[in-house]
């Protein structure tokens, strides 16, 4: 399992830290002709090899590089301005799925390699902290891209479907708190929401901004909670 965590860590570093926004823009502009597309894939392969720290594992590193480039090409081929958020999620899902398959094929579940391989908690917490501090913000920004455009628009008093998603996120968070037996956290959630008093916001733009902040806040809460649960599970194995 620890090898899988390392591979996910390499993916997060390659996709969200070592890939400047300018590279993304050039890939979207030039598609398969973009040099940055292949350089980005090469970086992923090198990261996998470095984090495993064993030349014998050049094959999975090479395959992850090739598959990553293939997934990115697929994304660039079908992605449009109107469906960027959807393809961002599909792209990340395919990357994680491909890593899981290659991990299963090459490492037979539990082969541990590399420096600090014995210290499984180190890799789990490092991956979780990297995800929450640097990756999570980018994911939330992408998910809220369309609503961010609506904030400066005066055509609508409220963000499209904002109330529905706020309710879904609230219920999921409350469910998690109940399952974990953290009843006090539900009170904290209610208190946090009460800060945004819809009744006092007469201006339509303020209401949209409030809904935008609420959705972003609840997304952040939810991702952090799920990440925490996954970490607790992994460290208890």
DSSP line for 113-124: -STTTT-HHHHH
For the chain, 237 residues long, give each residue's pLDDT as a single digit of tens. Answer: 788 889 999 999 999 989 998 999 999 999 999 999 999 999 999 999 998 887 788 899 999 999 999 999 999 999 888 888 888 889 999 999 999 999 988 886 544 444 444 567 888 888 888 887 778 878 877 877 776 666 666 565 666 666 667 767 777 777 677 667 676 877 777 777 666 655 545 555 566 777 777 777 777 777 777 877 777 777 776
At residue 217, the pLDDT reads 72
Q: Could you give the CA distance from residue 149 to residue 154 in angstroms, rounded to a whole number?
A: 11
| Whether this model's pTM surpasses 0.75 | no
Q: Could you give the CA distance from residue 189 to residue 54 in angstroms, rounded to a whole number?
A: 46
Cα 230–Cα 17–Cα 62 angle in degrees, nearest 5: 85
At residue 115, the pLDDT reads 45
Instruction: Residue 163: name the closest of 207, 117, 227, 102 by CA.
Output: 207
167: tokens are 């309710």
Q: How many CA atoms lie less than 13 Å away from 103 in the CB half-sphere?
A: 23
Q: Could you give the CA distance from residue 151 to residue 211 in angstroms, rounded to a whole number?
A: 10
* Burial tier of 154 (Cβ tally within 10 Å: 0-12, 13-18, 19+): exposed
At residue 8, the pLDDT reads 93
Other Cβ atoms within 10 Å of 145 Cβ, number: 12
At residue 42, the pLDDT reads 96
At residue 39, the pLDDT reads 96
Between the alpha carbon of residue 82 and those of residues 1, 30, 129, 161, 195, the distances in Å are: 37, 18, 32, 17, 33
At residue 95, the pLDDT reads 95
Instruction: Residue 177: name the closest of 219, 221, 146 by CA.
Output: 221
At residue 74, the pLDDT reads 94
């Amino acid at each position: 399992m620890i090898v899988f965590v390392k591979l996910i860590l390499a993916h997060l570093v390659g996709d969200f830290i070592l890939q400047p926004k300018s590279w993304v823009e050039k890939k979207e502009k030039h598609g398969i002709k973009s040099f940055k597309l292949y350089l980005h894939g090469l970086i992923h392969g090198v990261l996998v090899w470095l984090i495993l720290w064993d030349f014998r594992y050049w094959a999975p590193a090479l395959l992850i590089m090739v598959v990553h480039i293939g997934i990115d090409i697929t994304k660039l081929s079908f992605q449009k301005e109107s469906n960027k958020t959807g393809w961002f999620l599909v792209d990340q899902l395919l990357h994680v799925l491909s890593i899981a398959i290659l991990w299963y094929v090459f490492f037979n579940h539990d082969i541990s390699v590399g420096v600090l391989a014995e210290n499984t908690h180190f890799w789990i917490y490092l991956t979780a902290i990297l995800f929450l501090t640097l990756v999570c913000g980018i994911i939330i920004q992408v998910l809220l891209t369309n609503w961010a455009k609506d904030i400066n628009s005066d055509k609508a008093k409220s963000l499209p479907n904002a109330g529905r998603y706020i309710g879904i996120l609230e219920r999921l968070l409350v469910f998690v708190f109940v399952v974990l037996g953290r009843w006090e956290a539900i009170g904290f959630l209610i208190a946090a929401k009460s800060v945004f008093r819809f009744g006092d916001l007469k201006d339509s733009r303020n209401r949209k901004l409030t809904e935008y902040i609420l959705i972003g806040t609840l997304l952040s809460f939810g991702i952090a909670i799920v990440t925490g649960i996954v970490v607790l599970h992994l460290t208890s194995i």
